[in-house]
Amino acid sequence: MRISVFIFVCLLFAFAVHADDPSQKLDDAFASVEPKVIGWRRDIHQHPELGNREFETARKVVEHLEGLGFDEVRTGIAHTGVVGILKGGRPGPTIALRADMDALPVAEQTGLPFASKVKTQYNGKEVSVMHACGHDTHVAILMGAAEVLANNRDKISGTIQFFFQPAEEGAPAGEEGGAKLMIKEGVLHGADAPEAIFGLHAWPVRAGTINYRSGSFLAAADWLQINVKGRQTHGSSPWKGVDPVFVAAEIMTALQAIPSRQLDITKGPAVITIGSIHGGVRGNIIPDEVEMLGTIRTFHAGVRENLHAKLRRTVRLIAEASGATATVTIQPYAPVTANDPELLERMMPTLRHAAGEGNVNEHPLITGAEDFAHFQRHIPGLYLMLGVRKEGVAADAAPANHSPFFDANEDALIVGVRTMVGLAFDYASATAR
């Protein structure tokens, strides 16, 4: 009997210590939410939606946030976006945590049991849809962070806003969307506007690592369209017309000389890629027009402007030399994603705690682009890469983002949750130091 009482008292004491230990309580919360995060990720992965059409994904997010007792859940932001407001139990600043929700027009080839079989219309064509860039993991991670934070709101200093953003990959033709539209609709303005913003992205490097860069990190990106107009004629008599296919080929080759021979590469790298060429309907008919679509990537504002000017001149002069005409349309997508150096330095202890010592790594420049950069033009922001490479896959063999084979190591997702929760908890105290 005495032994039983002694054991009961010991267990009661252990429970009391366990309950009063905030670190242990958070560890338990992470362990509890991890299987849910994986489940959400698989569900969203199996049911992807393109930009400005994330209706079901947004519905799941809203249902989750409302079920957690959020102070406010705003819907219909930038078409399908969601903003959740969670007020902490202590006074402090307002910050934002962001996840993007949209998928890509890619036919999945991963062979996963929860692989997407979705097809839909995109710019007038039927396409397959896949979360080929990891946005399914971003949504699931932020939903998990929302649950942990909501269940510990009494320990939060200030207010946390959760931005579930549509159309990061770009809005459909003729529509506005993404971070730029969210800002236009006021998410960074008003009395409750956040003073800093944090986001992360699934990236095919060692799983569970957090990868950062101070200052410029991801490239500025511009959409490029070139329309070359010639004069249609029979393919057997090209001298009787003006061949826009030939001119387009000359332009595509000449464009590569701009980054390699005409720009100061000491200021930052640059890339021009033509990914689509359309013209003609038969092999023996020279068409009137060829359309070329591409992308431009730069890391320096002066280099970007110089590249645009040289590109326009090159296209114009090559077209004129052959008797054709050409128009160039450059549509900005996003500026450089650049991490605020002071904010990064302040939050570095949080990153090391979330991922573990040796798992927080400086990363080279990335020529991919992110419209998270639009938020960073208004308030300090920190954008990080979460390593999600599959176990046993060599670094040079890992499928890249936007690949039909892209997949995430789900063991890494909880590191993303820990990171977002840590940033939310620690920002107020880190800023005060």
CATH of the domain at 93: 3.40.630.10
- In this predicted structure, what is the pLDDT of residue 22? 63
Question: pLDDT tens digits for 71-110?
Answer: 999 999 999 999 999 999 999 999 999 999 999 999 999 9
- Are 284 and 374 in a shared domain? no
Which value, to the nearest 10 degrees, does the dihedral of the CA atoms of residues 252, 257, 258, 260 take? 130
- Are 195 and 234 in a shared domain? no
Distances (CA, A) of 58 to 32, 106, 118: 23, 21, 17
> Is the pLDDT confidence value at 7 over 70?
no
Q: 150: domain range?
A: 23-218+336-432
- Are 36 and 154 in a shared domain? yes
Ramachandran area for residue 152 (φ above 0: left; ψ -120 to 50: alpha; else beta): alpha
Identify whether 363 is part of a domain. Answer: yes
Contact assessment for residue 132 and residue 77, using Cβ atoms and an 8 Å cutoff = no
Q: Give the end of a domain, one of 298, 317, 334.
A: 334
Question: pLDDT tens digits for 188-203?
Answer: 999 899 999 999 999 9
Give the DSSP per-residue string, 248-301. HHHHHHHHTHIIIIIS-GGG--EEEEEEEEE--SSTTEE-SEEEEEEEEEES-H
- Are 204 and 285 in a shared domain? no
Q: How confident is the model at residue 432 (pLDDT cuts 50, 70, 90)?
A: low
**Between 22-46 and 413-432, two packed helices, what is the crossing angle to 10 degrees?**
130
| CA pair distance 57, 352, nearest whole angstrom | 31
Identify whether 12 is part of a domain. Answer: no
Average pLDDT score over residue span 140-169: 98
Average pLDDT score over residue span 36-64: 98
Identify whether 13 is part of a domain. Answer: no
Identify whether 143 is part of a domain. Answer: yes
Identify whether 224 is part of a domain. Answer: yes
Look at residues 105, 179, 101 and name the one whose alpha carbon lies nearest to residue 140: 101
Contact assessment for residue 244 and residue 288, using Cβ atoms and an 8 Å cutoff = yes
**What tokens were used for 15?**
């429970």
Identify whether 213 is part of a domain. Answer: yes
- Are 265 and 206 in a shared domain? no
- Are 62 and 182 in a shared domain? yes
Q: How many domains does the chain have?
A: 2
- Are 28 and 176 in a shared domain? yes
Q: Give the end of a domain, one of 334, 364, 382.
A: 334
Q: Give the end of a domain, one of 306, 334, 362.
A: 334
Identify whether 234 is part of a domain. Answer: yes
Contact assessment for residue 298 and residue 218, using Cβ atoms and an 8 Å cutoff = no
- In this predicted structure, what is the pLDDT of residue 73? 98
- Are 208 and 264 in a shared domain? no
- Are 207 and 342 in a shared domain? yes
- Are 249 and 205 in a shared domain? no
- Mean per-residue pLDDT over the chain, rounded: 94
Look at residues 303, 306, 296, 219 and name the one whose alpha carbon lies nearest to residue 267: 303
Longest CA–CA span in the chain (Å) reads: 108
**What tokens were used for 327?**
């128009």
Question: pLDDT tens digits for 316-359?
Answer: 999 999 999 999 999 999 999 999 999 999 999 999 999 998 99
- In this predicted structure, what is the pLDDT of residue 284? 97
> Is the pLDDT confidence value at 3 over 50?
no
Question: CA quadruple 146, 152, 156, 158: dihedral positive or negative?
Answer: positive
Identify whether 91 is part of a domain. Answer: yes
**Helices (H), ranges, 68-184:** 135-150, 178-184
- Are 105 and 183 in a shared domain? yes
- Are 101 and 188 in a shared domain? yes
Percent of the chain with pLDDT over 90: 92
- In this predicted structure, what is the pLDDT of residue 21? 58
The CATH number of the domain where 288 resides is what?
Answer: 3.30.70.360
- From the CB of residue 35, how many other CB atoms can be counted at a distance below 10 Å? 12
